[in-house]
């Protein structure tokens, strides 16, 4: 029985993780769950998964109300509650938090000797070198949940990283893939939130439309697989069926295919190195799909992808600047304070303005995050 701590239980990846666990009740057990503000969703989860004893939420008032409602369970709150959950004895932590908030829990997971199943790509975007150093120091294990990275990870099985020529990270193109930059001027929040292939949390859906998400994934791939940025390419696969590819030195290219179902990469992280049947899932029917389309990535159409490569290569606190700027810019866009194209403008401005730190500590990254957020609220709020 593998014991699992689930961070971000009420989110898109969180709820799908619960679904995967419920499919194999004799193999996996969730022993602790962290949520944020969505208490109604958490109550629903407690109803369908009543055996989990330890919880954490953001607000103290929510924790107190839940404690009164469920006297046999334990509810913490705030950062202490979240980090305190990692004291519960477990084998694996699924980090499905969103944003910079995920970095500290990732580091602590490794420090405490638990396997890190990582959906929170921001851990690597903001603190890649810290995560790598912790993995080395504590001889830790990190497994990808992001679909592209799970695909690459699967394509690497049985092969040597030293024989990899390049990684090719797939992208669906996001909600506005068929629009020109001119057509992006007055797009609405609602349109930006309708992703053609995947149903995900709001931030990553917007990040897919701006291609910031793909930029983050390039940085994520660099740290997960130790591959130079020069050897990481991106490609558009409209159908989101070819989840990513690995080209080897002998020109052989291995790809992983599957339906657009995040439970596949979630379950692979849980079952690795084994494979298990995935409950209530549709098989991939390539005959029904008929054709797969591939397009080159246009770096002028998607300047944030180019900026992510640059930030990735510069290293230091660059990823923390990009991530914080994006977090706030997306929030301002969702609240209709800025337009879609101003997301890019806010991020580029923050990147050019914020102080660069070459070898940041966690505290430096936290301050970078705080200052960049304040800068973008000010800049975008004008
Ligand atoms: P959601 O917004 O759907 O969920 C985020 C979860 O984190 C929620 O449970 C939320 O709580 C919780 N949360 C957010 N901030 C905090 C905090 N400070 N403390 C405690 N809990 C917090 O996001 P997704 O599930 O879409 O994404 C999660 C991560 O996975 C992201 O890093 C994303 O990039 C990555 N990812 C997601 C994919 C997807 O298909 N959704 C695909 C690949 C990667 P609440 O809602 O209760 O406030
Ligand atoms: Mg992805």
| pLDDT band at residue 196 under the 50/70/90 scheme | confident
CA of 34 to the centre of ligand 1 (A): 11
> 74-87, pLDDT tens digit by residue?
999 999 999 999 99
Q: Measure the CA–CA gap between 19 and 143, rounded to whole angstroms.
A: 19
User: Which ligand has the minimum distance to the alpha carbon of residue 119?
Assistant: 1
Where does ligand 1 bind, in terms of residues with CB under 6 Å?
Answer: 8-14, 34-38, 58, 82, 96-98, 101, 119-122, 146-147, 198, 200-201, 204, 262
- % of the chain at pLDDT higher than 90: 96
| pLDDT band at residue 382 under the 50/70/90 scheme | low
Q: Whose CA is nearest to atom 23 of ligand 1?
A: 201
| pLDDT band at residue 381 under the 50/70/90 scheme | confident
CA of 162 to the centre of ligand 1 (A): 34
Q: Whose CA is nearest to atom 19 of ligand 1?
A: 36
Checking 278-282 for CB contacts under 8 A at 24+ apart, the result is 278/20, 278/23, 279/19, 279/22, 279/23, 280/23
**H helices present in 227-285, as ranges:** 263-271
Rounded to the nearest 10 degrees, the angle between the axes of helix 303-314 and helix 340-353 is: 20
Nearest CA to 2 out of 129, 89, 127, 111 is that of 89
User: Which ligand has the minimum distance to the alpha carbon of residue 118?
Assistant: 1
Average pLDDT taken over every residue of the chain: 97
- What's the pLDDT score for residue 308? 98
**H helices present in the chain, as ranges:** 12-23, 39-48, 60-69, 78-84, 103-111, 122-137, 147-156, 189-192, 202-210, 212-225, 263-271, 286-289, 303-314, 318-334, 340-353, 362-381
- Between residues 265 and 280, the one the model is more confident about: 265
Output the six-digit token pair for 292.
Answer: 């797969």
CA of 167 to the centre of ligand 1 (A): 26
CA of 11 to the centre of ligand 1 (A): 5
- Section 340-359 average pLDDT: 98
Q: Which protein residues have a CB closer than 5 Å to ligand 2 (ion)?
A: 146-148
322 in Cβ contact with 315 (< 8 Å) = no
Which residue out of 30, 60, 98 has the highest number of ligand 1 atoms within 8 Å of its CB and is therefore the one to mutate? 98
- Section 205-211 average pLDDT: 95
Domains of the chain as residue ranges with CATH: 2-144 (3.40.50.720), 148-263+283-313 (no CATH), 316-382 (1.10.1740.10)
Q: Counting Cβ atoms within 10 Å, is residue 284 exposed (0-12), middle (13-18) or buried (19+)?
A: middle
User: Which ligand has the minimum distance to the alpha carbon of residue 240?
Assistant: 2
- What's the pLDDT score for residue 55? 98
> 1-38, pLDDT tens digit by residue?
999 999 999 999 999 999 999 999 999 999 999 999 99
């Amino acid at each position: 029985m593998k014991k699992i701590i689930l961070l971000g239980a009420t989110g898109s990846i969180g709820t799908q993780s619960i679904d995967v666990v419920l499919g194999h009740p004799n193999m996996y057990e969730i022993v602790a769950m962290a949520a944020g503000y969505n208490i109604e969703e958490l109550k629903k989860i407690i109803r369908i998964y009543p055996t989990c004893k330890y919880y954490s939420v953001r607000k103290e008032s929510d924790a107190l109300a839940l404690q009164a409602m469920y006297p046999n369970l334990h509810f913490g709150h705030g950062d202490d509650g979240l980090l305190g959950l990692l004291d519960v004895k477990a084998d694996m932590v699924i980090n499905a938090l969103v944003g910079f908030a995920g970095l500290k829990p990732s580091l602590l997971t490794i420090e405490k000797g638990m396997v890190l199943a990582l959906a929170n790509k921001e851990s690597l975007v903001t603190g890649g070198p810290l995560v790598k150093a912790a993995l080395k120091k504590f001889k830790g294990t990190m497994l990808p949940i992001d679909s592209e990275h799970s695909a690459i990870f699967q394509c690497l099985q049985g092969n040597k990283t030293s024989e990899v020529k390049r990684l090719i990270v797939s992208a669906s193109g996001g909600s506005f893939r068929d629009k020109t930059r001119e057509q992006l001027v007055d797009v609405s929040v609602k349109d930006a939130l309708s992703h053609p292939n995947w149903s995900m949390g709001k931030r990553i859906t917007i990040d897919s439309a701006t291609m910031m998400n793909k930029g983050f994934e390039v940085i994520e791939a660099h740290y997960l697989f130790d591959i130079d940025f020069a050897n990481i390419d991106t490609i558009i696969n409209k159908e989101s069926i070819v989840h990513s590819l690995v080209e080897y030195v002998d020109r052989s290219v291995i790809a992983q295919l599957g339906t657009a179902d995040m439970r596949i990469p979630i379950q692979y992280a849980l079952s690795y190195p084994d494979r298990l049947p995935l409950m209530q899932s549709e098989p991939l029917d390539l005959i029904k799909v008929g054709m797969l389309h591939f397009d080159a990535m246009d770096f002028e159409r998607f300047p944030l992808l180019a900026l992510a490569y640059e930030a990735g290569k510069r290293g230091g606190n660059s990823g923390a600047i990009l991530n914080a700027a994006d977090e706030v810019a997306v929030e301002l866009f969702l609240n209709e304070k800025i337009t879609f194209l101003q997301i890019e403008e806010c991020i580029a401005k923050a990147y050019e303005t914020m102080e660069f730190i070459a070898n940041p500590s966690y505290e430096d990254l936290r301050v970078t995050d705080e200052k960049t957020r304040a800068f973008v609220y000010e800049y975008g709020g004008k």
